[in-house]
Structure 1
Amino acid sequence: MAPLNRTTHPAPALPERVLQFGTGVLLRGLPDYLIHKANQQGEFNGSIVVVKSTGGATDEFAEQDGLYTVVTRGVQKGQLVDKSTVVSAISRVISAQEDWKAVLDVAKKPSLQVIISNTTEVGIQYVEESIFQHPPQSYPAKLTAFLYERFKNFGGGRSKGLVVIPTELITDNGLKLRDIVEKIAIHNELGKLFMKWLKYHVRFCNSLVDRIVPGKPDAATREPLQQELGYTDKLMIMAEPYRLWAIEGDDRVKSVLTFAKADPNVIIDEDINFYRERKLRVLNGGHTISVPLAYLLGLETVNEMMQHPLLSRFVEDVIAQEIVPTLPVWMIPEENPNAVREFAADVLDRFRNPYIEHLLLSITLQETMKMKARNLPTIQRFVEQHQQIPQRMALGFAAYLRFMKAVRLEDGVYLGEVATPTGGIITYPIRDDYAEYFYKLWQQVDVHDAASVRNFVQTLCADTTLWEMDLSALTGFADAVADQLTNLLTLGIEATIERQVATAESTTSGSEIG
C-alpha cells in the first residue's frame, strides 16, 4: 500500500496562521483536528507550524507531508461511532533542537495569529535562563524568545500581536504562562517597550481541553484499519467521539479564532469556570467516587464497570442524583439550562466506550488527593442543599477507605488485598502519597468490631490537616460512611452494593439529617 501523503491525498496549502509547541496526540486529536474541520468549512483557512521541542527526528511528519489519520471510535448518544478523518492542518514540523533559527523565522510571518501548546503540566514552570540560547531549554523561555523576535521584526506593531492558548491541564494555564513569560522578560532585560507590547497586544487565554486520545493504535488494530483505508499511516491516532475546547476570551479573541465557528464544541467565553467545574465534578468526580468500589468487586476497566448491572446502576445514579444537582445554578449558562445533564449523558457514553481500555487501577493513582479535590465539595454542597447525606457518595467514600487498607509494605510499595467473588485474592498496589498514613490508622482497627470501624472513620473525618475541612461536622456523614464500611468488611462488596441499591429504590436519594 502507498503511504499517506499529499500526493496520494491532495490537500490545499494554506497560510501558516498557528504555531504549535508539541507534537503529542492530544494536540493532534483535538486542536489540530478542529482546525482541520474549520478549514474544510472555509472558516479559518490556516495551517499549523509545529515545533518539536524534545529531541528526536521529524522524519515521519516529513514523509507524510504532515498528514495523519484520526480514527474516532466510541459511543455517542447511545450509538457506536467508527469513522476516520485525514487531518491536513499541519504544514510542517520543525525540530527546536536542530533548527531553532527556522522556528524564530516563523515569528516574521505576517499571517501568524495564534500560538498553541501542550508541553505537559511540568512544561509551564519558571526557569531562570537566557532566551538567547539556541534554543532555550524551557517552553516559557522558548515562547518568550519567539515573542521577542516577533516584536523586533514588526517594531511592536499592535496588529502583529498574537493569541496564546496553552492546553496544559492546569487551572488558569494562560494566566500562569503569562506571568512566567513576563518574569523571563524581566530577567533577560528585554525592555519596557517589549513589556508594553506583551501586555497590550499578546493575549494569553486560559483554556480547557477534554477528549480522550489514547494515541497510536497497536499493530493488531492498525493493520486492518490500513487495509480498509488503503494506505499506510505511521502517525495514525485513536480518539473518542466527545470533544471540548473551552477558551477564555473576549470579542477580540473570537475575531481571531474563527475556527470556533465550525464546531459547537469549541467554546469561547469570558469565563470558562463552568466548563472546568462541570468536568471536575461530573467526569472526574464520577470516576473517583466509583472506581474503588468497582475495583474491589474484581473489575478491571471502566467499560467493565459500565457493563456490570450493579455498578452501572450505581454510577448512573450517583452522577444523576447526587453530583449533577450540586453544580451551582449561577454557573450554568442561561442559554442552556440543561448543560450539566447533557454533559452527564455524554460522560456515561464515554465511560461505556468499548474501544478504550481505561484501567481502574490507573485511575486510583493519588486517590486521596482526587477525592479531596473532586468529591468533597460535592458532598458538602449536597448536604447544604438537601439537608441529607448523599448515600451513594457515602458508599463510594467507604469503598475508597477500604481500598486504602494496606496489608503489608513490599519493596517500598503498600499493598492491599481483596477477595474476589470466586474465592481468589487480588493483591494491588496503593499508589498514594497517604498510603503510609492509612496503613498506620488501619493497624488500629478491628474489622470485626463495628465500634472500632466507627472510631476509625470518625478520627479520619475529623482530620482537618488531611481534608482542609472537618468532615465530621457534616452531620451524619461519618456515621453513614462507617455503616457502609462495616458492611463492606463484613457482608462483602457485592452484597453491600445490592443492599444500597435496594435501599435507594425504596427511599429518596439521601437520608435526612437530624
Structure 2
Amino acid sequence: MEQLSRNMLLENHQLTESMEVNLTNDLPERILQFGEGNFLRGFVDWMVNEMNKQGIFNGRVVAIQPTPHGKVVPKLNAQDGLYTLVQQGIKDGKQVNKSEIITSISRGINPYENWNEVLKVAESPSIQFVFSNTTEAGLTYLEEEFIPDTSPLSFPGKLTAVLYHRYRVFNGSEDSGLTIIPCELVEENANVLRGIVLKLAKDWELPLDFIQWVEQNNRFCNTLVDRIVPGYPKENIDTFTETLGYEDQLLAVCEPYHLFVIDGDKAISESIPFHEAGLQVKWGDVTPYRQLKVGLLNAPHTMMFSLGYLSGVNTVYEVMENQELFSFVENAIKDEIKTVLSFEKNVLDEFANSVLDRFKNPFVKHYLVDLGQNAVSKYKARVLPLFFEYLDKQNKLPVHMVFSLSGLIAYYRPIRVDGDEHMVGIRDLQEYQIRDSKDAIITFSEAWNQYDGTKKSLIEVVSIILSDEKLWGRSLVEISLLKDMVIHYLEDIVTYGVQKSLEKFYLKN
C-alpha cells in the first residue's frame, strides 16, 4: 500500500476531496516549534491547520527535533510533513470518529546534524512564534558550553542560541522579537523558560544589549494545555491502514476535547487568532483554568488510579465501566471537589460533565499504572489542597479523598525495592512497577516492612507514612481523626480488597 506523501495526495483526488486536505505549500513558515511528538502534532499543529483551512493565519510550522535520539523528523520529511490525525471519543454525549490529514508542518530539522538550518529559520523575517513541548524534564536548566555553530543539548539552550542569532542578524531591532508559547506541563512555564534563557545568556557572557532585547522585545506567554493524545495506535494500525487506504508512519489518535489557555494580550491573540477558528482557546490569566483542570481532571485521576488498579481493572475507561468505581469518582467530584472550587455552578457542571465524557472514552487506553507514576507528589499537589479547603469549609474530613489516600498507601505496598526510585508491587500474582522519588520509596518501603498482618503493625505503617513531612509538606498525623480513618479504610482494603471495601464505604457513608 502506498505511503502518505504529497504526490500520493495529488494523484488521489478522491481522497483529497473526501478529507478536505489543504495542500497549499506556498504559505510562509511563521512558527518555529521545538518538539515534533504526538502531543504537539495533535494539538498546536492541528490548530494551525484549522486556522489555515479558514484562511485566518496562513502560516506553517518548522519542527525541530528536541533530543539527539529522536526518530520523528526522518519520518516527517519522508511524508512531506504530512500525517493523519484521528479524533476518537465522546463529545456532547455522542461518539466522534474523524480522520484528517494535517498539512501545517513544512519540514522537520535535526539540529544535531543541521544546526545551520535552524539558524537560517531564525533569520527569517516571517518567523513570529515559538512553540514547544519538550516534557517537564526539558524545561530545566542545564549547564553547557555555548558553541555558535553547534546545537546546544537542552531546549532552553537551543532557544537562547536561536534568539542570540536572530538578535545579531536584525541588529537588535524592536520588531525582531518573537512570541514564545511553551506547552510543557509546568506551572508558569513561560516564566520558568524565560528565567533559564536569561541565566544561560549570562553564563555564556552574551552582550548586555542582547539580554535587554530578550527582556524587552520578546514575549513569553504562560499556558495551560489539555488534550489526551495517545499517539500512534500500534495495536490496531493495520485496521487504520486498511480503512484509510494508505500507510502513515506518523498517524496519531487523540480525543475530541481540547483546551488551550494562553496568557497573551490582544495583540498576540490577533496575530495568531486560534479562537476565530472555533477552537477552545482562551486568552488571559491561566490560574483559574489551572485550578479547574487540576481540581476536576487531575485530582480524580490521582484518586482513582490505585482503587481501580487494585480492583483488577487497568484503564480509566474500565473504571468508568465498573459501577462501584464510577460511583466513587462521580460522588468524589460532586460531593467534595466541586464544593471547594470557586467557580459559578454552570462552569463547574459543564467542565465536570466534559471530564466524565473524557473518562468514558472507549478509544483511549489511559493506563492506571501510568497515572500512578510519582503518585505521592501528585496527591500532594492535586488532592491535598482540595482536602484542606474542604476541611476548612466543612469542618469534617472529605471521606472520598481519605479513602483514596488509603488506596494509594495500599498500592505502594512493595514486594521488593529495585533502586532508589523504583519499587515492585503485586496484584493477582502480577507484578507492577511503582516509580517515585527516593524519599517516597524509602518511606513506603520502610513503613511496609513493619507490617506482619496485625492491626498493631498496620497502625505503625500508617503512622510512619502520614508523619513524613518531606512527602506531604506537613505531618498529616496531626489532623484530627485522619490517622484513624486511614487505618480503618486501609485495613478493609488489605483484608477484603477494594471492591468489598467500597461496598462497606457506601453503607457507612
Deviations 1:364-415 (A, max 9, x none): 2222222212111111111111112111111111111222223445788644
Amino acid at match of 2:24: P
**Aligned mate of 1:117, from 128, 132, 136:** 132
Amino acid at match of 1:391: V
Deviations 1:9-39 (A, max 9, x none): 4511312111111111111010000111111
| 1:324 equivalent in alignment to 2:324 | no
* 1:303–1:352 CA contact under 8 A, matched in 2: yes
Q: How does 1:241-320 map to 2 (within 5 A)?
A: 241-269=256-284, 271-320=285-334
- Which residue of the partner structure matches residue 446 of structure 2? 440
Q: SS state of the match for residue 312, structure 2?
A: coil
* 2:443–2:464 CA contact under 8 A, matched in 1: no
After the TM superposition, which of the residue ranges 388-397 and 402-411 deviates more from structure 2?
A: 402-411
Cα distance, 1:359–1:37 mapped onto 2, change above 3 Å: same
Cα distance, 1:84–1:403 mapped onto 2, change above 3 Å: same
Unaligned runs of 5+ in 1: 419-423, 505-514
* 1:29–1:213 CA contact under 8 A, matched in 2: yes
Cα distance, 1:472–1:69 mapped onto 2, change above 3 Å: same
**Aligned mate of 2:41, from 25, 28, 38:** 28
User: How far apart are the structure 2 equivalents of 1:53 and 1:416?
Assistant: 34
Cα displacement (A) at 1:69: 0.6
Deviations 1:414-444 (A, max 9, x none): 44345xxxxx544444333323322322333
Q: How does 1:73-472 map to 2 (within 5 A)?
A: 73-126=88-141, 127-218=143-234, 221-269=236-284, 271-327=285-341, 329=342, 332=343, 338-409=346-417, 414-418=423-427, 425-433=429-437, 434-445=440-451, 447-449=453-455, 452-454=457-459, 456-472=461-477
Q: SS state of the match for residue 389, structure 1?
A: coil
Deviations 1:286-321 (A, max 9, x none): 111111111111222221111111111111111222
User: How far apart are the structure 1 equivalents of 2:48 and 2:448?
Assistant: 52
Cα displacement (A) at 1:63: 2.9
| 1:490 equivalent in alignment to 2:489 | no
User: How far apart are the structure 1 equivalents of 2:487 and 2:46?
Assistant: 48
Cα distance, 1:3–1:178 mapped onto 2, change above 3 Å: same
Cα distance, 1:497–1:64 mapped onto 2, change above 3 Å: same
- Which residue of the partner structure matches residue 65 of structure 1? 80
After the TM superposition, which of the residue ranges 438-447 and 96-105 deviates more from structure 2?
A: 438-447
Cα displacement (A) at 1:459: 4.8
Amino acid at match of 2:477: S
User: How far apart are the structure 1 equivalents of 2:207 and 2:431?
Assistant: 60
Q: SS state of the match for residue 153, structure 2?
A: coil
After the TM superposition, which of the residue ranges 182-191 and 317-326 deviates more from structure 2?
A: 182-191
* 1:39–1:259 CA contact under 8 A, matched in 2: no
User: How far apart are the structure 2 equivalents of 1:409 and 1:201?
Assistant: 51
Unaligned runs of 5+ in 2: 10-15, 17-21
- Which residue of the partner structure matches residue 507 of structure 1? none
User: How far apart are the structure 2 equivalents of 1:186 and 1:465?
Assistant: 33
Amino acid at match of 2:144: E
User: How far apart are the structure 1 equivalents of 2:155 and 2:416?
Assistant: 42
* 1:5–1:64 CA contact under 8 A, matched in 2: yes
Give the TM-score, by structure 2 length: 0.90
Q: Aligned-residue CA RMSD in angstroms? A: 2.3
Count of aligned pairs between the two proteins: 490
Cα displacement (A) at 1:255: 2.7
Amino acid at match of 2:28: P
Deviations 1:41-80 (A, max 9, x none): 2221111111224346744223322111101111223322
Deviant stretches of 4+, over 6 Å: none
User: How far apart are the structure 2 equivalents of 1:441 and 1:114?
Assistant: 50
- Which residue of the partner structure matches residue 12 of structure 2? none
User: How far apart are the structure 2 equivalents of 1:109 and 1:243?
Assistant: 31
Cα displacement (A) at 1:446: 5.2
User: How far apart are the structure 2 equivalents of 1:411 and 1:25?
Assistant: 30
* 1:292–1:403 CA contact under 8 A, matched in 2: yes
Cα distance, 1:463–1:38 mapped onto 2, change above 3 Å: same
* 1:123–1:138 CA contact under 8 A, matched in 2: yes
